[in-house]
Amino acid sequence: MTVSYASDDVLPGFFDTIPGAIDEPVATVVVDNLPGSGDSAGIAHAHGAAYLALPENPGYGGG
CB 16 within 8 A of CB 28: no
Average pLDDT of the chain is 91
Distances (CA, A) of 3 to 23, 30, 51: 22, 6, 10
- Specify the pairing of strand 50-53 against strand 29-32: parallel
pTM of the model: 0.86
Provide mean pLDDT across the span 33-62: 89
**Residue 60 pLDDT greater than 70, yes or no:** no
The domain ranges of the chain are 2-16+25-53
